[in-house]
A and B are shown apart, each in its own frame.
Chain A
Amino acid sequence: MAVLSVEGLTTNYKTLRGWVRAAEDISFEVEQGEAMGLAGESGCGKSTVALSLLKILPPGGKIRKGKILLSGQDLVPLSEKEMRKIRWKGISIVFQGAMNALNPVFKVGDQIAEAIKTHEPKVADSEVRERVAKLLETVGIEPSRANNYPHEFSGGMRQRALIAMALAADPSVVVADEPGTALDVIVQAQILRLLRDLKDRLGLSMILISHDLSIIAETCEKVAIMYAGRIVEYGDAVTIFKDPKHPYTQGLIKAFPSIKGEKVRLTSIPGSPPDLLNPPAGCRFNPRCPFVMDVCKRVEPILEEHGDKGHTVSCHLYH
């Protein structure tokens, strides 16, 4: 059984101008020890999915439909009190924005200690200190640096500290939202390697969120491509990068300049992503799609298997 199985998750934000349809009918599964990449451009709903999994949506954000099954248990109906037992231990998150996600007025070690104590209030202080030291070591920070404040850390170290915090309660699923994105490419590569090592070493299940397809390609076994609040293509990473089916996935892959291969003129997808307050009818990608047909403007396509087993695509071209 999958460690995490999301079925038809729909999360919207209530605003004065109406519902922002940020995540609609999202389904995916993450197996034990597997990394799934959630890819898509800014504003397509990636963080909304992440925050929904932990039920820590900002005011206005509401899960309107669907199930989030963690080892078979549905989290959607759980109360806030019950969710507190799940957070950090069942599912933990490395928040987007490494530079600001730590509290500037507390020592880094104390912030990690807090994450441990929230879950295990009875653990002795000396043991907490030991575990903090061990966690820091695990993520490649000299344990003596526990006494530093966040501003005394470089960007890469702050990102590592956030990963240590996410590991504090020994979770079964870790969600990493844009890890390393604001960091330099060398430091980013160090962070991604750390995440892969941790996954292999601790048998973690991971959801890696990124707007950068290359990062997902290098880190994940499985990929879900999101566009305007919906998953448009889902499956095994090798299949999707080798043989993308959805016109959006095809366009996105081509828009990424690769450092390997011939010098080419880059291509883009004409137009820009829609306003999620009022997304286009039918397929949300239809105004930008080079293969648009009549049906695309009327009927919303559903994710269906196409070609290889487990490779699903939501596009009228195939169904």
Chain B
Amino acid sequence: MDSKISTIDQNDTSSELPPQMGADEVLRVENLRKWYPLRRGFVETLFSKNEMNVKAVDLVSFSLKRGEIFALAGESGSGKTTLGKVLLRLVDPTSGSIFFHGKDITKLTQRELKPLRREMQIIFQDPFESLNPRMIIKEIVAEPLRVQKVAKSEAEVEERVKQVLTEVEIVPPEEFLYRFPHELSGGQRQRVAVARAFILNPSFVVADEPVSMLDVSIRAEVVNLMIDMVKKHSASIIFISHDLALAKHIADRVAVMYLGKVMELSTSEKVVDGPLHPYTQALIAAVPVPDPESKRTKDVISGEIPSPVDPPSGCRFRTRCPYAHERCSTEEPPLIEAEKDHFVACHLYT
């Protein structure tokens, strides 16, 4: 993977320095990139000098404060999951840096990362797939304890599992310890995933679309539980969701991604109620509203998200942007602070 770095043009990185956040930050990333090399035939490789890459995450910079709920929004393929995995070093970045509690973890080996792993956890989208169907709930939740070897005795393991199950309202815990995932409802399963994520008292959690597979009537209770756990454990969470309405209600800040880039970043109210970027505006206009009397003939931008292999030159959104002008195709807009604490990458503001 390292050999790829040399092929990347680093000239354009200087303009995207991260917003300065101060000392209380859990995580900071600078100019983070994840490019997946595209596999091609032998002949093509012979005759073409250009590397073809899927630019899943391309020069992303931001930081996460202690106790913060930070939402990552954007259409399918915009790079949300990839970014989440890179932050946890589950996927190696192509370039850029990741600082975790001030320590540069970009180049640490998996072995060096192991002690830090207890501080960082992930919750996946599908509770049916993420919990091992052959393991009982007790073992699923205890797994991080065992991997990190933090419990002194079997009794302590069981005690801590029961305690965290109680926290996520899987009660009474004794009744659930020896059940298998398929004996639980979807909501209960996702609670178990939350319990496992929090058993080591992590300071940083990535939740990747944690409620999108759940029934609407039970989504809120899982979301509220996660918010409560984050607050209680003074953890920070990156909540990945394509649902901006949900992001608005739960997140402190929201970053909107498009084709691997952050297009807009600010508090959830600013992003949703006063979006600056034409892409965010288009996304919000497209979200259906549960009110039959709201305006039905709204403007919907045309087209679909282009391929991340060969994204449009300049601003990646320009091919769908109603305000695109000449400069947008030649110059990539940097993420700038257009208003206080409101960052946007768009030439309308530069």
Contacts and interface: CB of A to CB of B under 8 A. Distances in A.
Interface of A: 41-42, 154-156, 184-190, 192-193, 196, 211-215, 217-220, 237-238, 241, 251-253, 255-260, 263-270, 272-273
Contacts of B284: 259
A217 B291 contact: yes
B242 interface: yes
A240 B215 CA distance: 21
A269 B214 CA distance: 13
A99 to B, nearest CB: 11
Contact of B217 (A186, A218, A251, A260): A251
A292 to B, nearest CB: 16
A156 B304 contact: yes
Interface in B266-307: 268-269, 272, 282-294, 296-298, 300-302, 304-305
A187 B282 CA distance: 11
B292 A270 contact: no
Most chain A Cβ neighbours within 10 Å, of B76, B245, B293, B294: B245
B217 A258 contact: no
B223 A214 contact: no
Contacts of B301: 186
B216 A252 contact: yes
Contact of A258 (B290, B300, B304): B290
A188 B288 CA distance: 9
Contact of B245 (A41, A42, A190, A258): A258
Given A255-B217, A266-B219, A272 B185 contact: yes
Interface in B140-199: 185-187
A206 to B, nearest CB: 14
A263 B282 CA distance: 21
A185 B287 contact: yes
A265 B69 CA distance: 14
B288 A215 contact: yes
A220 B293 CA distance: 11
Given A218-B289, A257-B249, A260-B294, 11 more contacts: A156-B304, A185-B242, A186-B283, A189-B288, A193-B297, A213-B216, A214-B287, A219-B296, A252-B216, A268-B224, A272-B215
Contact of A259 (B289, B293, B296, B304): B289
Interface in B204-238: 215-221, 223-224
B75 interface: yes
A263 B217 contact: no
A212 B293 CA distance: 16
A190 B297 CA distance: 11
